[in-house]
Structure 1
Amino acid sequence: MSNGQFHQKVAIITGAGQGIGLEIARQLARQGASVLLNDLEESLASEAAQLIHEEKGVCVPLAGDASDVGFIQSMVDKAVQQFGKLDIAIANAGITLFGDFLEYESDDFNKVMKVNLGGSFFLAQAASRQMIQQGTGGRLLLMSSVTGHQAHKNLAAYGMSKAALEMLARTLVVELSQYRITVNAIAPGATITERTAHDPDYDKTWSRITPIGKPASTKDIANAALFLVSPQSGHITGQSLVIDGGWTSVSPSPY
């Protein structure tokens, strides 16, 4: 693709083999970006990149652990090697490990923090270093959640990690603004993805308790993500945008 507001922009997106990450990658590619698409599973990364190629987009898959600092640097290096620069980094990779607080295992806690926090922190760091070297500014986007705003049963560790990402976005304002790098977060609510589609009651339950009357689609989330990494958002930084159909305003439990 040769036109669109992301023409000649280069983006890295982690955890993008399916769901929200894939939709963000597709929309960026449709609007002209060259995308390095990461997923832990090689088959998902390859299939996602093939889909984008079929839609006439530019995408390179790179499978690997987005919480590993060495691999994170290799993603940045690969993007620069393949496309010559890096303009956008979206830390979408994350894991959810449910568990009762009183019984939660340290191994599960550490896994959640390593992926959700460590992966996001060190992708932002590696991408920022490259953007500073280029001297052209850039966009960072972190993936929070409504669970970082409202309590969910059995998600103490996950919600804690997502709230921390919003603080990271605010903190990096004082670190990165001088380099014209913006950093924001989005906080999706209930969203129909491949994972949630396995729950036969998910759509019905969240349609009932969401003020707007339905859960989000992946495109709803991608639309917000693209705005925050676009040229139109140059004066927005340190912010978190909740995309939940109004759920956090009333917060009824799905249980």
Structure 2
Amino acid sequence: MDLTGKVAVVTGSGQGLGLAYAQELARRGAAVVINDVRQETADAAVAGITAAGGRAVAVVAPVGTTATAIALVDAAVATFGRLDIMVTNAGILRDKVLWKMSDDDFDAVIDVHLRGTFTCVRAAVERFREQGQGGRLICIGSPAGQRGNFGQTNYSAAKAAIVGMVRTWAMELKKAGITANAVCPVAATAMTETIPFLAPYIEGMRAGEPLPAVIRREVGMGTPGDVAGVIAFLASDAASDVTGQAISIGGDRLALWSHPQLTATAFHDGGFSADDVAAQWPTTFAGRLESVGEEFPAELTGAAR
């Protein structure tokens, strides 16, 4: 898993999951462009990587605009001579139930997560194609985008769309040797702390308590460092044939999300009227309805810690 000579951009990498990704890529030999909206946070991340013997530079700018995307790619090329890996991790939350979510709440999350992924990937792909040596796109999704999550209309929409874009890019970029994958992490961060039954475990972890096996395995949640390995794998030559996938990782669990499939089908000559649908529904579809939201062990969600 040697990434020596490779250059990566990791958006939103001043702290949390993004910092863990950047540190792991640097540990494996890649030079890294750190991105954050706060200068002191970005500088601290760069200092930590360089102190450990890695190479890093900071670009302080909010992700979303084409200008920021170009600045990130330009920094990689100007400082390290090339770009090989784009990790789109930057994100924010503006959680509210639908009837309380404002236009600004919706737009802010869509701008950072969805538009930011699009603009950064587009800028990276332009550079990859110019270099003619392939590249790696690693876009951060979420279980919320796969199954929905209460209070996260904006976030769930953005994360679902990111997986849709990744599938499209995997087809469009195959001939250029560019892979595109989505990683859906579950880790103890400020974002997962908003889930009520997980909050005590995250608080305990910060106090030095280990996460219990049921959290690390059945919930599949661990530390940011637990996620970083799959980022390095996808960035490496070992994953040259892995593309168009949505990969779940957290704690002690690594898994693949399936692509949506037709699960129940009926046919009716001449098409379906409303009455035809009503007649067909109980026998073919009623017992095949999909659940919504993440499913967690009952002993965790139904009992106090």
Question: Secondary structure, in 3 states, of the residue corresponding to 1:212?
Answer: helix
Ranges in structure 2 where 5+ consecutive residues have no aligned partner: 206-210, 258-292
1:39 to 36, 39, 63: 36
Distance (whole Å) between structure 1 residues aligned to residue 213 and residue 130 of structure 2: 49
1:92 matched to which residue of 2? 89
% same residue? 32
How many residues align? The count is 251
2:146 to 142, 146, 149: 149
Distance (whole Å) between structure 2 residues aligned to residue 187 and residue 29 of structure 1: 21
User: What do the CA deviations read for 1:179-225 (whole angstroms, capped 9, x no partner)?
Assistant: 11000010012x12366679851437995974716721111111111
Equivalent residues in 2 for 1:183-222 (5 A)? 183-189=180-186, 191-193=187-189, 201-203=200-202, 210=215, 212=217, 215-222=221-228
User: What do the CA deviations read for 1:53-80 (whole angstroms, capped 9, x no partner)?
Assistant: 1111100011111112112101111110
- Range 208-217 or range 140-149, more displaced: 208-217
Distance (whole Å) between structure 1 residues aligned to residue 28 and residue 91 of structure 2: 25
Shift of 1:164: 0.8
Question: Secondary structure, in 3 states, of the residue corresponding to 1:51?
Answer: helix
2:117 to 106, 117, 120: 120
Q: 1:194 to 1:112 in 2, by over 3 A?
A: closer
Distance (whole Å) between structure 1 residues aligned to residue 216 and residue 146 of structure 2: 17
Q: Which amino acid aligns with 2:296?
A: P
Q: 1:156 to 1:250 in 2, by over 3 A?
A: closer
Ranges in structure 1 where 5+ consecutive residues have no aligned partner: none
2:24 to 27, 30, 34: 27
1:103 matched to which residue of 2? 100
1:178 matched to which residue of 2? 175
Distance (whole Å) between structure 2 residues aligned to residue 252 and residue 242 of structure 1: 15
Say if 2:221 is the partner of 1:224. no
Contact preservation (8 Å) 1:66, 1:93: yes
Distance (whole Å) between structure 2 residues aligned to residue 116 and residue 230 of structure 1: 24
Question: Secondary structure, in 3 states, of the residue corresponding to 1:35?
Answer: strand
Q: 1:208 to 1:68 in 2, by over 3 A?
A: same
2:51 to 37, 51, 54: 54
User: What do the CA deviations read for 1:76-96 (whole angstroms, capped 9, x no partner)?
Assistant: 111101111100000010111
Distance (whole Å) between structure 1 residues aligned to residue 193 and residue 212 of structure 2: 14
- What is the root-mean-square deviation of aligned Cα atoms in Å? 2.6
1:73 matched to which residue of 2? 70
Structure number with greater CO (CA < 8 Å, separation at least 6) is 1
Q: 1:5 to 1:97 in 2, by over 3 A?
A: same
Distance (whole Å) between structure 2 residues aligned to residue 236 and residue 200 of structure 1: 34
2:248 matched to which residue of 1? 242
* Structure number with larger C-alpha Rg: 2
Shift of 1:174: 2.0
Distance (whole Å) between structure 2 residues aligned to residue 180 and residue 215 of structure 1: 32
1:15 matched to which residue of 2? 12
Say if 2:163 is the partner of 1:166. yes
- Range 212-221 or range 58-67, more displaced: 212-221
Distance (whole Å) between structure 1 residues aligned to residue 236 and residue 109 of structure 2: 29
Question: Secondary structure, in 3 states, of the residue corresponding to 1:109?
Answer: helix
Distance (whole Å) between structure 2 residues aligned to residue 133 and residue 197 of structure 1: 42
TM-score, reference length from structure 1:
0.90
Contact preservation (8 Å) 2:10, 2:86: yes
- Range 87-96 or range 147-156, more displaced: 147-156
Question: Secondary structure, in 3 states, of the residue corresponding to 1:38?
Answer: strand
Q: 1:224 to 1:45 in 2, by over 3 A?
A: same
Shift of 1:244: 4.0
